[in-house]
């Protein structure tokens, strides 16, 4: 069943925070996202240049238009701008009664105020009593309580105070602005404290964290999750959104809420593409068998380089592709992290050329190199005997050296084949490179035909 979540928040023209972050989060969490826009900001990752708020009546009209048509399963507030808008939102939510998550946005990461001074009191006295959850960060919790927060213990005291003073059922004091190796969020719920923690990421992508986090909780509530379950999932969600943030802008980069669904989708796509390419090898098994070297072949494919971190993000064939009685055969179905050698080669390639996402090693022969030349393939030839000792000593260093050498011959973009002439105890080989495994297999087929 489709659930509807509404964000009552401001617009960040840079798309990092506000309603953009919220709607991306709702979509990634599988709920239908509706919007009641409060204010428009001319904003980027390092400053807010201008801001103008809509009339409270127009904010109410947006909420009512959604309510009268689809209903609202849960909502969240972000930038509310003025005391009049806060009063209107408190009044309408109080009447409709859907569960509301209040992110008490006061100041943007870039330092600009997002709420007028006189509005904070209205937020405390009018909005917090009708909210189910409130998610202050450290400075916001300090402003709401008048306490100084420097530890998890202080955060617990602040959370309990906010519940008792303003009546919000669940208080989440976020730990993004606290110190320590873990980002710990403290929750006060039904007289008990709960802690939700992830490793603290050294990341520039923290613009929109509060928005996406509160939207993720609202999405969970809209789906009918228990509140603690919704907060737990939101915590994992925001960790992924920060880890795979949008590397854009001169200031605090935007978080990436769609990483939550894009990464699993990317992995599935890569798996399916490799499976299809292995099918093409099976169909031409006798031909491919001629190209299997002593060390056997592997064919790998890395997920979208924006999301690739290590060999576990490269799908390949466990046990490699072998020559079994004159037929090329994958030893098993594709798996992530199944190859070390091929995966490291692909990671080195994609680090230099984002299009070079797939590679397969085949047997070296001067005839195959000649054939590649005749086909007009871009060729790089690497003499492993020239590899410096330092490169050999570093983990993954050899592969980076080979790829660096190869791409220096082809103007920085990947060649179609890298001819590795081998070294003492190292079999010479050809690596066929392409954008996809299907393209690599087609290139190998042309070479062998």
Ligand X SMILES: Cc1ncc(COP(=O)(O)OP(=O)(O)O)c(N)n1
Ligand Y SMILES: Nc1ncnc2c1ncn2[C@@H]1O[C@H](COP(=O)(O)OP(=O)(O)O)[C@@H](O)[C@H]1O
| Catalytic positions | 174, 206, 208-211
Binding ligand Y by CB under 6 A: which of 26, 67, 237, 239?
239
For residues 137 and 339, which CB has a smaller minimum distance to ligand Y in the complex?
137
Binding ligand Y by CB under 6 A: which of 91, 198, 258, 331?
198
- Tell me which long-range contacts 312-320 makes (C-beta under 8 A, separation of at least 24): 312/336, 312/337, 313/267, 314/339, 314/342, 314/343, 314/346, 314/347, 315/267, 315/270, 315/271, 315/274, 316/274, 316/342, 316/343, 317/278, 320/296
Query: Which residues make beta-bridge pairs with 76?
Result: 7, 101
First to last CA, the chain: 53
Which helix or strand (DSSP H or E) is residue 412 part of? none
What minimum distance in Å lies between the beta carbon of 138 and ligand X? 12
What minimum distance in Å lies between the beta carbon of 229 and ligand Y? 15
Query: Which residues here bind ligand X, judged by CB under 6 A?
Result: 9-12, 17-18, 41, 43, 78-79, 105, 108-109, 114, 206-211, 252
- Only one of the segments 110-118, 201-209, 304-312, 391-399 lies at the binding site for ligand Y (rule: CB under 6 A); that segment is 201-209
DSSP string, 297-344: B-EEEE--TTT--SGGGEEE-TT-EEEETTEEEESSS-EET--SHHHH
Residue 14 makes contact with ligand Y by CB under 6 A: no
| Coil/strand/helix, residue 226 | coil
φ/ψ of 357, rounded to 5, equals: -95, -10
Residue 203 makes contact with ligand Y by CB under 6 A: yes
- Only one of the segments 48-56, 171-179, 303-311, 411-419 lies at the binding site for ligand Y (rule: CB under 6 A); that segment is 171-179
For residues 23 and 211, which CB has a smaller minimum distance to ligand Y in the complex?
211
Residue 145 makes contact with ligand Y by CB under 6 A: no
Count helices and strands in the chain by DSSP H and E runs: 15, 18
**Which of ligand Y, ligand X, none sits in contact with 108, Cβ below 5 to 8 A by type?**
ligand X
Angle at 172 between CA 168 and CA 174, to 5 degrees: 145
For residues 142 and 185, which CB has a smaller minimum distance to ligand Y in the complex?
185
Binding ligand Y by CB under 6 A: which of 177, 306, 371, 435?
177
User: Residue 331 has which token pair?
Assistant: 């030893």
What minimum distance in Å lies between the beta carbon of 195 and ligand Y? 11
CB atoms within 10 A of CB 253: 20
What minimum distance in Å lies between the beta carbon of 220 and ligand X? 17
Which residues fall within 8 angstroms of residue 449, CB to CB, at 6 or more apart? 287
**Which of ligand Y, ligand X, none sits in contact with 238, Cβ below 5 to 8 A by type?**
ligand Y
Residue 299 makes contact with ligand Y by CB under 6 A: no
Residue 258 makes contact with ligand Y by CB under 6 A: no
For residues 235 and 320, which CB has a smaller minimum distance to ligand X in the complex?
235
Alpha carbon distance 29, 40 (integer Å) = 25
Binding ligand Y by CB under 6 A: which of 174, 320, 357, 384?
174
* Half-sphere exposure at residue 243, Cβ-oriented, CA atoms within 13 angstroms: 16
**Which of ligand Y, ligand X, none sits in contact with 201, Cβ below 5 to 8 A by type?**
ligand Y
**Which of ligand X, ligand Y, none sits in contact with 285, Cβ below 5 to 8 A by type?**
none
Alpha carbon distance 76, 128 (integer Å) = 12
**Which of ligand X, ligand Y, none sits in contact with 25, Cβ below 5 to 8 A by type?**
none
**Which of ligand X, ligand Y, none sits in contact with 183, Cβ below 5 to 8 A by type?**
ligand Y
Confirm if 9 and 76 have CB atoms less than 8 A apart: yes
Alpha carbon distance 170, 30 (integer Å) = 23
**Which of ligand Y, ligand X, none sits in contact with 177, Cβ below 5 to 8 A by type?**
ligand Y
Binding site for ligand Y (CB under 6 A): 137, 174-177, 183, 185, 198, 200-201, 203, 206, 209-210, 213, 235, 238-239, 242
């Amino acid at each position: 069943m489709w659930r509807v979540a509404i964000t009552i928040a401001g617009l960040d023209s840079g798309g990092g925070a506000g309603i953009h972050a919220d709607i991306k989060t709702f979509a990634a969490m599988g709920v239908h996202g509706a919007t009641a826009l409060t204010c428009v900001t001319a904003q980027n990752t390092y400053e807010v240049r201008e801001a103008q708020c809509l009339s409270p009546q127009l904010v109410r009209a947006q909420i009512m238009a959604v309510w009268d048509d689809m209903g609202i399963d849960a909502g969240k507030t972000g930038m509310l701008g003025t005391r009049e808008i806060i009063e209107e939102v408190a009044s309408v939510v109080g009447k409709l009664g859907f569960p509301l998550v209040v992110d008490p946005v006061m100041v943007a990461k870039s330092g600009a105020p997002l709420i007028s001074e006189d509005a904070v009191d209205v937020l405390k006295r009018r909005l917090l009593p009708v909210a189910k959850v409130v998610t202050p960060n450290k400075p916001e919790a300090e402003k709401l309580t008048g306490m100084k927060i420097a530890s998890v213990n202080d955060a617990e005291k602040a959370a309990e105070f906010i519940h008792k003073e303003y009546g919000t059922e669940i208080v989440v004091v976020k730990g993004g602005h606290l110190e320590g190796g873990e980002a710990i969020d403290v929750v006060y719920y039904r007289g008990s404290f709960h802690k939700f923690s992830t490793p603290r990421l050294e990341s520039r992508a923290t613009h929109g964290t509060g928005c996406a986090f509160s939207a993720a909780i609202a999405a969970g509530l809209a789906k009918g999750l228990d509140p603690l379950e919704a907060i737990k999932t939101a915590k994992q969600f925001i960790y992924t959104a920060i880890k795979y943030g949008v590397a854009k802008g001169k200031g605090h980069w935007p978080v990436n809420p769609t990483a939550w669904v894009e990464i699993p989708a990317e992995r599935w796509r890569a798996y399916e593409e490799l499976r299809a390419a292995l099918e093409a090898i099976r169909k031409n098994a006798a031909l491919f068998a001629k190209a299997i070297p002593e060390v056997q072949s592997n064919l790998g494919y890395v997920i979208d380089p924006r999301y690739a971190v290590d060999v576990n993000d490269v799908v390949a064939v466990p046990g490699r592709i072998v020559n079994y009685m004159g037929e090329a055969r994958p030893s098993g179905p594709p798996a992530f992290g199944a190859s070390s050698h091929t995966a490291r080669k692909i990671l080195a390639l994609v680090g230099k050329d984002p299009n070079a996402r797939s590679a397969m090693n085949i047997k070296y022969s001067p005839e195959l190199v000649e054939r590649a030349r005749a086909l007009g393939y871009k060729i790089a030839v690497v003499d492993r005997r020239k590899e410096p000792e330092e490169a050999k000593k570093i983990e993954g260093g050899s592969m980076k050296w080979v790829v660096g050498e190869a791409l220096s011959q082809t103007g920085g973009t990947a060649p179609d084949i890298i001819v590795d002439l081998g070294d003492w105890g190292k079999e010479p080989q050809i690596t066929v490179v392409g954008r996809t495994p299907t393209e690599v297999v087609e290139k190998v087929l042309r070479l062998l035909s």
